[in-house]
Structure 1
Amino acid sequence: MTRYVLTVDAGPRDLRAADHLLHTLATELALDGGVFGCTHLVRGDRPRVSVSLALPTEAAAATVRGQLADRGYEPADGAPDPVGRAVLYPGADALRGTMTVAEVLSVSAIDRVTVLGAAERPAPDARLVTRDHVRPQWHDGELVLTAMPAVGGTLVPFEVPDPTPCCADH
């Protein structure tokens, strides 16, 4: 399916702020569940996180472009890179609690689940403890969730909901 992508470089310096921006935009712009909202790390002189919105039609993109401009943003066409970290995607709100890998794949836009360090994909009945924070990434046109082994033979998404900031104990 062709998507029309707009990028907003509003300057958040961390993923949490960028996630918040995406959720705020989704609410303020009344974006439906078919929109993909991703974060992208921008390196260079001024490291930051930009966000992209992938919309299903050119008309939807034009409408959102106008709404963003009305709010003071300067949307650009296209994504800054092909490996965005998805925050908004179809089925994201359904990924709560503990689910099987098969359930995750059936209720969301996630195409594949991989396990860090494992050569094979997890079994469809493997249990994933979502921690209500599931952030897959785009890889070669597929939305892929990377998980890691956890207590009791379960899996958890690789990205933790509340990471400890670097040097927090200094």
Structure 2
Amino acid sequence: MTAYALTVDAGARDLRAADHLLHALADRLALPGDTVGCTHLVRGERPRVVVSLSLSSRPLLDTVRERLAGAGHGAVTPGLPDGSGRAVLFPGASRLTGTLSVAELLACSAIDRVTVLGSPLPPDPDARLVTRDHVRPQWQGDGLVLAATPALGDTLVPFEAPDPTPCCADH
């Protein structure tokens, strides 16, 4: 992550709302493709999801902060809330659609590594990953790591489902 970062607290209650906010900010502010936008869970008296934007330069950070100041998107603070964000916007994210090999995914995006839950070994570079058009890697240390799970047809899928079933949905 970068030193040129800010956090926006719009009071989002869930990841879907925070994802939507990040995409809306990227569109409205015409953010460059190298912007990293993450969600961060905030616990405590007022649980919520805040978003962060990591930008490539101080002038861009200042411009984005200025444009957000009166836009009604919530409180804007300098820096990152923590070092373990869930990336929604990142270089190459728009190219992660359909089915790709692990090697293709790593080559065309800012994702540094893919792990497979339950396996101590990294996946084969030729392993096919069905993106479901929803790829959300996490910051681990200094790199973006995508957690994947085995799926039908000897493929992998990102661990996070695009439309998860809410807990207790059948009650």
TM-score by length of 1: 0.98
* Correspondence 1:43 to 2:53: no
1:148 corresponding residue in structure 2: 149
CA displacement, residues 83-109 of structure 1 (integer Å, 9 cap, x when unaligned):
000000000000000000000000000
Residue of structure 2 equivalent to 1:27: 27
Equivalent residue for 1:18?
Answer: 18
Q: For this pair of structures, how many residues does the alignment match?
A: 170
Deviates more, 1:3-12 or 1:47-56: 3-12
CA contact (8 A) 2:129 2:156 kept: yes
Does structure 1 retain, via aligned residues, the 8 Å contact 2:2–2:54?
no
1:167 aligned onto 2:157: no
Aligned partners of 1:3 and 1:30: how far apart in 2? Answer: 20
State whether residues 115 and 149 of structure 1, in contact with CA within 8 Å, keep that contact through their aligned partners in structure 2.
Answer: yes
Partner of 2:79: 78
What displacement does 1:2 show? 4.1
Kept in 1, the 8 Å contact 2:3–2:79? The answer is no
> Could you tell me the percent identity over the aligned residues?
68
Give the SS at the match of 2:12.
coil
The residue identity in structure 1 corresponding to 2:169 is: A
Question: AA paired with 2:82?
Answer: D
Pairing 1:69–2:50 present: no
SS at match of 2:10: coil
Alignment RMSD (CA, Å): 1.0
Which amino acid is the alignment partner of residue 23 of structure 1? H
Structure 2 unaligned blocks of 5 or more? none
Runs of 4+ in 1 over 4 A off after TM superposition: none
Provide, for residues 146-166 of structure 1, a one-character-per-residue CA deviation record: whole Å limited to 9, x for no partner. 000000110000000000111
Where do 5+ consecutive residues of structure 1 fail to align? none
Q: Does the aligned pair in 2 maintain the 1:148–1:158 contact within 8 Å?
A: yes
User: Partners of 1:74 and 1:86 in 2: how far apart?
Assistant: 20
Q: CA deviation at 1:111?
A: 0.4
The 3-state SS of whatever aligns with 2:19 is helix
Report the Cα distance in structure 2 between the residues aligned to 1:95 and 1:164, rounded to whole angstroms. Answer: 23
Read off the aligned partner of 2:38 and give its amino acid letter.
C
Would you say the 8 A contact 1:100–1:128 is kept in 2? yes
1:78 CA displacement: 1.0
The 1-side partners of 2:3 and 2:148 are apart by 27
Aligned partners of 1:68 and 1:74 also within 8 Å: no
* CA offsets 1:52-104 (integer angstroms, 9 cap, x no match): 00000011100000011020333111111100000000000000000000000
Measure the CA separation in 2 of the matches of 1:71 and 1:125. Answer: 45
State the alpha-carbon separation in 2 of the partners of residues 96 and 168 from structure 1.
28
